[in-house]
Amino acid sequence: MLLSILIPTYNRSHFLRNNIEALRKMILDNGLLNSVNIIISNNCSTDETKLVLGEFQSRAGINISVFNQEENIGSVRNVLFLFSKAESDYVMFLGDDDYIDEKYLVGVCKFITKPCAPSVIIPSNLAISEAGEELGYSRDVGLPSKEYPPGFNACLNTSWRGHQMSGLVFLRSPLLENMHEKNICNMYLFIYFVAYLSLRGPVLHLTEYPVKVSRPSQKAKGWSYGDDGLISEVFDNYSCLDGVNLVQRSLLEIKFLDEQYWRYFMYIKLGLKRFLRAIWLIITDANTSVPTKLLFPLAVFIILVKRVILLAVRRELGKTLRRSVDI
């Protein structure tokens, strides 16, 4: 099998049904039956998930494997369980309430069969509500697709994008073997996946066909960002990378803190004390490298100024566009 689509699921039977049906149509319409299969792990859902999965298993047409966990093993272990069940050359991870574009799936299958196939494929994404409405914010939509040769530059520019699981495609081996060796197990293990493979193989940032990513309320997620925006979980991945020196590790951390600045700036809404506590926790965390500990206080100020300037520029551009439309 060329590609396995891995879907961890828990208590989202309605979304899951729509997702599998859409994938089924894509696979059949594009002649991918012998190239793509679907593997789903139901993390002991209490809704109709098991029934929905049984319906699809009884229908002929696509290769689908279902595992029903007898107890909830947690989201991270459920992802790792799925990974261990794949036997394909490549794997794609997909949230049960996130949706890939048909052209994205076809494009992925085309690129991973090329002689110099990428080790990682990273999509753009577009946020949608649970009702399927676009929410007006996205990541990388409008950027041209880009290929990166293996090495630290690829790792620096792409690994932070592993914060979003859906649509990410990975060369299964030797990643699985390395995961067992390093015992990587945290909320953002996909950052490690991208980082590890980008140091060793080419990366494709395929932006033309955004993945639609559902944004449920924080309460519906079943987890929180804690007091530090889960930065410690992210940095745990960088601390486990082989072949990366201390300066490079710090650059990876600062890059993430710049691109994902909202993770700690969101605490400003809760008061200056909570914001300063978040900064302090990031600086003093055991997973934060020494150079980042020293640089981050200054970096926070630079990042804030940078974002304020960008916001002002965008507002002015918006005013200019509105005036031109009025004319």
The pLDDT of residue 314: 67
CA of residue 314 relative to chain centroid, distance: 26
Pair (75, 206) in one structural domain: yes
CA dihedral sign, ordered 178, 184, 185, 191: negative
Give me the pLDDT at residue 220, please.
56
Q: What is the DSSP letter of 163?
A: G
pLDDT at 119: 98
Looking at the fold, whether 289 and 202 belong to one and the same domain comes out as: no
Q: How far apart are CA 178 and CA 182, in angstroms?
A: 6
Residue 193 lies in a domain: yes
Q: Identify whether residues 202 and 299 lie together within a single domain.
A: no
Our count of domains for the chain comes to 2
Rounded distance, CA 96 to CA 79, Å? 12
- Would 249 be classed as within a structural domain? no
How far is residue 32 CA from its own chain's centroid?
Answer: 24
Q: Are 287 and 142 within one domain?
A: no
Both 73 and 212 in one domain: the answer is: yes
> Do residues 82 and 8 touch, judged by C-beta distance below 8 A?
yes
The contacts of residue 19 (CB under 8 Å, 6+ apart) are 7, 94, 96, 97, 98, 99
Residue 103 lies in a domain: yes
All residues at 6 or more sequence positions from 253 whose CB lies less than 8 Å from its CB, including other chains? 235, 238, 288, 289, 292
CA dihedral sign, ordered 87, 91, 95, 98: negative
Quote the pLDDT of residue 322.
Answer: 52
Per the listing, tokens 């949706």 go with: 99
Is the bond into 149 cis (omega within 30 degrees of 0)? no
Examine the fold and report which residue of 170, 198, 221 is the final residue of a domain before the chain moves on.
Answer: 221
132, 173: one domain:
yes
Same domain, 171 and 281: no
For residue 280, give its domain range: 254-326
Indicate if 169 and 297 belong to the same structural domain: no
Query: How much is the pLDDT for 130?
Result: 87
Q: Of 221, 239, 263, at which residue does a domain stop?
A: 221
Q: Do 136 and 285 have their domain in common?
A: no
Q: How far apart are CA 150 and CA 119, in angstroms?
A: 9
Q: Are 209 and 106 in contact (CB under 8 A)?
A: no
Each residue's pLDDT, cut to its tens digit, for the chain (327 residues) gives 999 999 999 999 999 999 999 999 999 999 999 999 999 999 999 999 999 999 998 876 889 999 999 999 999 999 999 999 999 999 999 999 999 999 999 999 999 999 999 999 999 999 999 888 999 889 999 999 999 999 999 999 999 999 999 999 999 988 988 988 888 889 999 999 999 999 999 999 999 999 999 987 545 556 789 999 999 999 999 999 999 999 999 999 999 999 999 999 999 999 999 999 999 999 999 999 999 999 999 989 888 888 778 777 767 665 555 555 455
pLDDT given at position 319: 55
Same domain, 210 and 295: no
Confirm whether 68 is domain-assigned. yes
Please list the alpha-helical segments (H only) found in 140-242: 152-158, 172-182, 189-198, 218-221, 231-239
Q: Which pLDDT score, from 0 to 100, does residue 306 have?
A: 82
Nearest residue to 163 via CA among 263, 279, 292, 269: 263
pTM of structure: 0.92
Determine, yes or no, domain membership for 276: yes
DSSP strand pairing (146-148 vs 203-214): antiparallel
In-domain check, residue 108: yes
Provide φ and ψ at 4, rounded to 5°. Answer: -110, 130
Task: Specify whether the CB–CB gap between 32 and 143 falls below 8 A.
Answer: no
End-to-end CA distance of the chain: 57
- CA distances for 241 relative to 204, 278, 311, angstroms: 21, 25, 35
Long-range contacts at 302-307 (CB < 8 A, ≥ 24 apart): 303/257, 303/258, 303/261, 304/265, 306/258, 307/261, 307/265
What is residue 303's predicted lDDT score, i.e. its pLDDT? 87
Domain boundary among the residues 167, 201, 221 is at: 221
Q: Is 320 helix (H, G, I), strand (E, B) or coil?
A: helix
Q: Are residues 206 and 265 in the same domain?
A: no
Q: What residues form DSSP beta bridges with 90?
A: 3, 171
The pLDDT of residue 327: 54
**Residue 227 domain flag:** no
Q: Is residue 229 part of a domain?
A: no
Q: Are 97 and 9 contained in the same domain? A: yes
Query: In angstroms, rounded to a whole number, what is the distance separating the alpha carbons of residues 108 and 265?
Result: 35
Please give the structure tokens belonging to residue 235: 């940095």
CATH of the domain at 197: 3.90.550.10
